[in-house]
Amino acid sequence: MVSDLTSTTMIDDPADGWFPESVAATYDGPGGANRPEVVTPAVDLLESLADGPALEFAAGTGRIAAPLAARGVPVSGIELSRAMAARIAGKPGGDQVHVTIGDMTATRVPGRFSLVYLVFNTIGNVTTQDGQVDVFRNAAAHLRPGGLFLVEVGVPNLRRLPPGQDTVPFAISPGYVGFDQYDVVTQQFTSNHVTVSPDGQGRFRRIPFRYVWPAELDLMARLAGMRLRHRWGGWDRSEFTADSTKHVSVWALTES
Ligand SMILES: C[S@@+](CC[C@H](N)C(=O)[O-])C[C@H]1O[C@@H](n2cnc3c(N)ncnc32)[C@H](O)[C@@H]1O
């Protein structure tokens, strides 16, 4: 069920933040994170952890929420961008996802959930420490006792930053250059994407983030009454090691 989200406009709405119509229109394109080999392991793990209704913070286009709902897990979502959320209902399972337009730092939806999850580095879209703490508090407020909060996020790539350098390229191919630029004093970084089409038309997209270490996330969880239950190096429950480039962490609500 999606209320009040059926009409999309081709004009970018500033209220949609960094994910307006022009981004939503290509978000699920081929070769991206919508590939089954990316989506299926995530949905497998989320389904195994959900012991009742689940809530996705920043549900986007339903890349994960829709297939999880298609497996029979009751799924709700909170999403800032109407343009992104408008895509959910069109996916298999998406008509079962109840989406609320709002900010995951503060928006409340009815019900208590067995699992709240926030994937694909999106904790970093909240660019202040206070805001990230609010995300954890809001997750806890939606959990039933013993419920789980799962976050998938990259490990800050600072080991690739030599002294005096602030930029790390992460992809260079014909027609595309991606690089991250770090401010190690403020924990801010920008993710930068330069795309040049075959006819020479260029596009530059720059998205601000706040990077955050696993231990800082553990402290945010404790502030919200949660304790670390699992930390894996990926959706396959692989071991989290010094060389892991990302982690999938799960905290359980121990105080409410
Ligand atoms: C990288 S996309 C991830 C979407 C989806 N979770 C996925 O895995 O495909 C980030 C999404 O977070 C949403 N978002 C960013 N900040 C948000 C906030 N404070 N509250 C709710 N949604 C937010 C954006 O609008 C965008 O749809």
State the pLDDT at residue 6. Answer: 41
Q: How far is the CA of 88 from the centre of ligand 1 (A)?
A: 13
Tokens 């990926």 belong to which residue? 234
Is 68 near ligand 1, meaning CB less than 6 Å away?
A: no
pLDDT band at 29 (very low <50, low <70, confident <90, very high): confident
Q: How far apart are the C-alpha atoms of 217 and 214, rounded to whole Å?
A: 5
pLDDT above 60 (res 242): yes
Q: Within the chain, which residue ranges are assigned CATH 2.20.25?
A: 158-208
> Which CATH number is 14-155+212-253's, of 3.10.20.90, 3.30.1360.170, 3.50.50.60, 3.40.50.150?
3.40.50.150
Q: Within the chain, which residue ranges are assigned CATH 3.40.50.150?
A: 14-155+212-253
Q: How far apart are the C-alpha atoms of 119 and 38, rounded to whole Å?
A: 12
Q: How far is the CA of 229 from the centre of ligand 1 (A)?
A: 24
Say which residue, 8 or 143, is predicted with more confidence. 143
* Residue 228 in tokens: 């670390």
Is 23 near ligand 1, meaning CB less than 6 Å away?
A: no
Q: Please name which of 105, 81, 35 lies closest in space to residue 207, comparing C-alpha atoms.
A: 81
Q: How far apart are the C-alpha atoms of 206 and 225, rounded to whole Å?
A: 35
CATH top-level class of 158-208: mainly beta
Dihedral sign of CA atoms 12, 18, 19, 23 in order: positive
State the pLDDT at residue 3. Answer: 38
* pTM, entire model: 0.93
Let me know how long the chain is. 256
Q: State mean pLDDT over 163-170.
A: 93
State the pLDDT at residue 31. Answer: 78
State the pLDDT at residue 191. Answer: 94
Looking at ligand 1, which residue's alpha carbon is closest to its atom 26?
60
* Residue 186 in tokens: 């403020």
Q: State mean pLDDT over 53-75.
A: 98
Query: How large a percentage of the chain has pLDDT more than 70?
Result: 96
